[in-house]
Structure 1
Amino acid sequence: MKFIIDNWMLILLAATSGGLLLWQTLQKSQMGAVGTAEAVRLINREKGVLVDVSEPAEYAAGHAAGARHIPFASLEGSKDLPSNKTLPVLLMCPTGARASRAAGQLRKAGYEKAVAVAGGLNAWREANLPVQKGA
Protein backbone atom coordinates (compact mmCIF):
# COMPACT_ATOMS: atom_id res chain seq x y z
CA MET A 1 0.00 0.00 0.00
CA LYS A 2 2.87 2.34 0.77
CA PHE A 3 4.20 1.81 -2.77
CA ILE A 4 0.89 2.94 -4.28
CA ILE A 5 0.75 6.03 -2.08
CA ASP A 6 4.38 6.96 -2.77
CA ASN A 7 4.09 6.42 -6.53
CA TRP A 8 0.53 7.45 -7.29
CA MET A 9 1.61 9.78 -10.10
CA LEU A 10 3.55 7.04 -11.90
CA ILE A 11 0.62 4.65 -11.55
CA LEU A 12 -1.78 7.29 -12.88
CA LEU A 13 0.55 7.99 -15.82
CA ALA A 14 0.85 4.28 -16.66
CA ALA A 15 -2.92 3.77 -16.46
CA THR A 16 -3.57 6.81 -18.66
CA SER A 17 -1.00 5.69 -21.21
CA GLY A 18 -2.48 2.18 -21.35
CA GLY A 19 -5.98 3.60 -21.68
CA LEU A 20 -4.97 5.82 -24.59
CA LEU A 21 -3.30 2.91 -26.39
CA LEU A 22 -6.40 0.78 -25.91
CA TRP A 23 -8.65 3.60 -27.12
CA GLN A 24 -6.50 4.10 -30.24
CA THR A 25 -6.66 0.38 -31.04
CA LEU A 26 -10.43 0.33 -30.64
CA GLN A 27 -10.82 3.39 -32.87
CA LYS A 28 -8.77 1.76 -35.64
CA SER A 29 -10.85 -1.42 -35.54
CA GLN A 30 -14.07 0.57 -35.70
CA MET A 31 -12.93 2.57 -38.72
CA GLY A 32 -12.84 -0.63 -40.75
CA ALA A 33 -9.67 0.01 -42.74
CA VAL A 34 -6.86 -2.42 -43.48
CA GLY A 35 -3.42 -1.85 -44.96
CA THR A 36 -2.37 -3.14 -48.34
CA ALA A 37 -0.55 -6.17 -46.92
CA GLU A 38 -3.65 -7.24 -44.98
CA ALA A 39 -5.80 -6.61 -48.07
CA VAL A 40 -3.62 -8.92 -50.17
CA ARG A 41 -3.77 -11.55 -47.41
CA LEU A 42 -7.57 -11.36 -47.31
CA ILE A 43 -7.77 -11.68 -51.10
CA ASN A 44 -5.38 -14.63 -51.27
CA ARG A 45 -6.33 -16.61 -48.17
CA GLU A 46 -9.95 -15.73 -47.45
CA LYS A 47 -11.26 -15.23 -50.99
CA GLY A 48 -11.72 -11.52 -50.43
CA VAL A 49 -13.33 -9.48 -53.19
CA LEU A 50 -11.69 -6.19 -54.18
CA VAL A 51 -14.22 -3.53 -55.18
CA ASP A 52 -13.27 -0.13 -56.58
CA VAL A 53 -15.91 2.52 -55.79
CA SER A 54 -14.27 5.26 -57.91
CA GLU A 55 -16.08 7.24 -60.55
CA PRO A 56 -15.76 5.77 -64.08
CA ALA A 57 -13.12 8.31 -65.18
CA GLU A 58 -11.03 7.65 -62.05
CA TYR A 59 -11.34 3.89 -62.57
CA ALA A 60 -10.25 4.19 -66.23
CA ALA A 61 -7.23 6.29 -65.20
CA GLY A 62 -5.99 3.46 -62.97
CA HIS A 63 -7.26 0.78 -60.63
CA ALA A 64 -5.99 -2.22 -58.71
CA ALA A 65 -5.61 -5.27 -60.94
CA GLY A 66 -8.60 -7.56 -60.62
CA ALA A 67 -10.83 -5.04 -58.86
CA ARG A 68 -14.53 -5.02 -59.64
CA HIS A 69 -15.82 -1.57 -60.54
CA ILE A 70 -18.96 -0.45 -58.73
CA PRO A 71 -19.23 3.34 -58.49
CA PHE A 72 -20.13 4.58 -55.01
CA ALA A 73 -23.44 6.03 -56.21
CA SER A 74 -24.62 2.64 -57.50
CA LEU A 75 -23.19 0.50 -54.70
CA GLU A 76 -26.44 -0.06 -52.85
CA GLY A 77 -28.24 -3.05 -54.35
CA SER A 78 -25.56 -3.72 -56.99
CA LYS A 79 -25.64 -7.17 -58.58
CA ASP A 80 -21.82 -7.08 -58.84
CA LEU A 81 -21.40 -7.47 -55.07
CA PRO A 82 -20.74 -11.01 -53.85
CA SER A 83 -23.87 -12.89 -52.86
CA ASN A 84 -22.03 -14.46 -49.91
CA LYS A 85 -22.13 -11.70 -47.30
CA THR A 86 -19.55 -13.42 -45.07
CA LEU A 87 -16.70 -12.99 -47.59
CA PRO A 88 -14.29 -10.11 -47.01
CA VAL A 89 -15.16 -7.16 -49.27
CA LEU A 90 -12.21 -4.78 -49.67
CA LEU A 91 -13.23 -1.35 -50.89
CA MET A 92 -10.92 1.02 -52.68
CA CYS A 93 -10.95 4.51 -54.19
CA PRO A 94 -8.08 6.88 -55.01
CA THR A 95 -7.53 8.06 -51.40
CA GLY A 96 -9.63 5.74 -49.23
CA ALA A 97 -12.16 8.33 -48.01
CA ARG A 98 -15.02 7.24 -50.26
CA ALA A 99 -14.13 3.60 -49.65
CA SER A 100 -14.52 4.09 -45.87
CA ARG A 101 -18.05 5.43 -46.38
CA ALA A 102 -18.80 2.53 -48.73
CA ALA A 103 -17.54 0.02 -46.15
CA GLY A 104 -19.91 1.45 -43.55
CA GLN A 105 -22.77 1.32 -46.01
CA LEU A 106 -22.07 -2.33 -46.85
CA ARG A 107 -21.72 -3.33 -43.19
CA LYS A 108 -25.20 -1.87 -42.60
CA ALA A 109 -26.41 -3.95 -45.55
CA GLY A 110 -25.13 -7.13 -43.89
CA TYR A 111 -21.63 -7.55 -45.32
CA GLU A 112 -19.89 -8.54 -42.09
CA LYS A 113 -16.32 -8.11 -43.33
CA ALA A 114 -16.57 -4.99 -45.49
CA VAL A 115 -13.44 -2.89 -44.99
CA ALA A 116 -11.70 -0.07 -46.80
CA VAL A 117 -8.12 -0.30 -47.99
CA ALA A 118 -6.32 2.41 -46.02
CA GLY A 119 -4.81 5.00 -48.32
CA GLY A 120 -6.72 3.68 -51.33
CA LEU A 121 -5.11 3.36 -54.73
CA ASN A 122 -2.30 5.70 -53.68
CA ALA A 123 -1.21 3.24 -50.97
CA TRP A 124 -1.69 0.34 -53.39
CA ARG A 125 0.73 1.98 -55.83
CA GLU A 126 3.23 2.81 -53.07
CA ALA A 127 3.25 -0.87 -52.11
CA ASN A 128 4.15 -1.71 -55.73
CA LEU A 129 1.03 -3.78 -56.21
CA PRO A 130 -0.35 -4.26 -59.75
CA VAL A 131 -2.37 -1.41 -61.27
CA GLN A 132 -4.29 -1.51 -64.55
CA LYS A 133 -5.54 1.31 -66.76
CA GLY A 134 -8.72 1.40 -68.81
CA ALA A 135 -12.12 -0.09 -68.17
Structure 2
Amino acid sequence: MNIAFFLTPKSEVIFENLEATMRQVLERMEYHGYSAIPIIDNKGRYVGTLTEGDLLWKLKNTPELNFKNTEKVKLEEIPRKIKHKAVTINSDIESLISLAVSQNFVPVIDDNGIFIGIIKRSDIINYCYNGMCEAKK
Protein backbone atom coordinates (compact mmCIF):
# COMPACT_ATOMS: atom_id res chain seq x y z
CA MET A 1 0.00 0.00 0.00
CA ASN A 2 1.20 3.49 -0.87
CA ILE A 3 1.33 5.78 2.17
CA ALA A 4 0.03 8.67 0.04
CA PHE A 5 -3.40 7.09 0.60
CA PHE A 6 -3.30 8.44 4.18
CA LEU A 7 -1.79 11.86 3.41
CA THR A 8 -3.41 15.03 4.68
CA PRO A 9 -1.85 17.59 2.30
CA LYS A 10 0.03 20.64 3.55
CA SER A 11 -2.81 22.89 2.36
CA GLU A 12 -5.06 21.26 4.99
CA VAL A 13 -2.49 21.14 7.81
CA ILE A 14 -1.87 23.72 10.51
CA PHE A 15 1.88 24.25 10.75
CA GLU A 16 4.16 27.08 11.77
CA ASN A 17 7.31 28.68 10.42
CA LEU A 18 10.53 28.50 12.42
CA GLU A 19 10.60 32.33 12.45
CA ALA A 20 7.25 32.54 14.28
CA THR A 21 7.08 33.51 17.94
CA MET A 22 6.20 31.38 20.91
CA ARG A 23 3.07 33.44 21.42
CA GLN A 24 1.91 32.87 17.84
CA VAL A 25 2.25 29.11 18.15
CA LEU A 26 0.62 29.07 21.60
CA GLU A 27 -2.39 30.91 20.25
CA ARG A 28 -2.56 28.80 17.09
CA MET A 29 -2.38 25.54 19.06
CA GLU A 30 -5.03 26.76 21.50
CA TYR A 31 -7.37 27.90 18.72
CA HIS A 32 -7.14 24.56 16.89
CA GLY A 33 -6.95 22.42 20.04
CA TYR A 34 -3.65 20.81 19.04
CA SER A 35 -1.02 19.45 21.38
CA ALA A 36 1.70 19.45 18.70
CA ILE A 37 2.39 21.28 15.45
CA PRO A 38 4.87 20.73 12.60
CA ILE A 39 7.52 23.40 12.13
CA ILE A 40 9.00 24.31 8.75
CA ASP A 41 11.80 26.66 7.72
CA ASN A 42 11.66 29.51 5.19
CA LYS A 43 12.40 27.08 2.35
CA GLY A 44 9.46 24.86 3.28
CA ARG A 45 11.56 22.06 4.77
CA TYR A 46 10.31 20.15 7.79
CA VAL A 47 12.55 20.95 10.78
CA GLY A 48 10.63 19.33 13.64
CA THR A 49 7.50 19.17 15.69
CA LEU A 50 6.82 21.49 18.60
CA THR A 51 4.71 20.12 21.45
CA GLU A 52 2.87 21.60 24.39
CA GLY A 53 5.51 20.00 26.58
CA ASP A 54 8.29 21.86 24.76
CA LEU A 55 6.45 25.13 25.39
CA LEU A 56 5.85 24.32 29.05
CA TRP A 57 9.51 23.37 29.62
CA LYS A 58 10.60 26.63 28.00
CA LEU A 59 8.33 28.57 30.39
CA LYS A 60 9.55 26.60 33.40
CA ASN A 61 13.24 26.93 32.53
CA THR A 62 13.13 30.65 31.68
CA PRO A 63 12.22 32.47 34.92
CA GLU A 64 11.73 35.89 33.31
CA LEU A 65 9.39 34.48 30.67
CA ASN A 66 5.64 35.01 31.00
CA PHE A 67 2.77 34.91 28.53
CA LYS A 68 3.07 38.60 27.69
CA ASN A 69 6.69 38.39 26.59
CA THR A 70 6.43 35.09 24.68
CA GLU A 71 6.11 37.27 21.58
CA LYS A 72 9.86 37.91 21.90
CA VAL A 73 10.80 34.22 21.77
CA LYS A 74 11.33 32.71 18.30
CA LEU A 75 10.47 29.05 17.81
CA GLU A 76 14.06 28.30 16.90
CA GLU A 77 14.97 29.25 20.51
CA ILE A 78 12.71 26.58 22.00
CA PRO A 79 14.41 23.23 22.58
CA ARG A 80 12.40 20.23 21.43
CA LYS A 81 12.56 17.32 23.84
CA ILE A 82 11.70 14.66 21.26
CA LYS A 83 12.89 14.52 17.66
CA HIS A 84 9.78 13.59 15.71
CA LYS A 85 10.86 11.88 12.53
CA ALA A 86 9.32 12.32 9.11
CA VAL A 87 8.84 9.84 6.28
CA THR A 88 9.26 10.45 2.59
CA ILE A 89 6.26 10.05 0.35
CA ASN A 90 7.94 6.91 -1.06
CA SER A 91 8.33 5.21 2.33
CA ASP A 92 6.76 1.85 3.00
CA ILE A 93 3.82 1.29 5.32
CA GLU A 94 6.03 -0.45 7.91
CA SER A 95 8.19 2.67 8.30
CA LEU A 96 5.06 4.79 8.68
CA ILE A 97 3.48 2.55 11.32
CA SER A 98 6.70 2.27 13.34
CA LEU A 99 6.70 6.08 13.72
CA ALA A 100 2.93 6.41 14.21
CA VAL A 101 3.17 4.20 17.31
CA SER A 102 4.83 7.05 19.22
CA GLN A 103 3.69 10.14 17.27
CA ASN A 104 0.13 11.52 16.92
CA PHE A 105 1.02 12.38 13.35
CA VAL A 106 3.90 11.60 11.04
CA PRO A 107 5.20 14.46 8.89
CA VAL A 108 5.68 13.61 5.22
CA ILE A 109 8.42 15.15 3.10
CA ASP A 110 9.48 14.90 -0.51
CA ASP A 111 12.95 13.81 -1.64
CA ASN A 112 14.29 17.34 -0.98
CA GLY A 113 13.01 17.48 2.61
CA ILE A 114 10.12 19.78 1.67
CA PHE A 115 7.10 19.36 3.95
CA ILE A 116 4.12 18.09 1.94
CA GLY A 117 1.70 17.07 4.70
CA ILE A 118 1.06 14.70 7.57
CA ILE A 119 -0.37 11.29 8.19
CA LYS A 120 -2.49 11.14 11.32
CA ARG A 121 -2.29 8.09 13.56
CA SER A 122 -6.08 8.19 13.89
CA ASP A 123 -6.46 7.77 10.11
CA ILE A 124 -4.27 4.66 10.17
CA ILE A 125 -6.20 3.19 13.11
CA ASN A 126 -9.57 3.94 11.49
CA TYR A 127 -8.44 2.29 8.26
CA CYS A 128 -7.30 -0.83 10.13
CA TYR A 129 -10.49 -0.91 12.22
CA ASN A 130 -12.71 -0.62 9.16
CA GLY A 131 -10.72 -3.38 7.47
CA MET A 132 -11.21 -5.65 10.48
CA CYS A 133 -14.95 -4.93 10.49
CA GLU A 134 -15.20 -5.75 6.77
CA ALA A 135 -13.26 -9.00 7.29
CA LYS A 136 -15.75 -10.12 9.95
CA LYS A 137 -18.71 -9.81 7.55
TM-score, structure 2 length as denominator? 0.28
Structure showing the higher strand proportion among its residues:
2
TM-score, structure 1 length as denominator? 0.28
State which structure, 1 or 2, has the greater radius of gyration over its C-alpha atoms. 1
Structure showing the higher helix proportion among its residues:
1
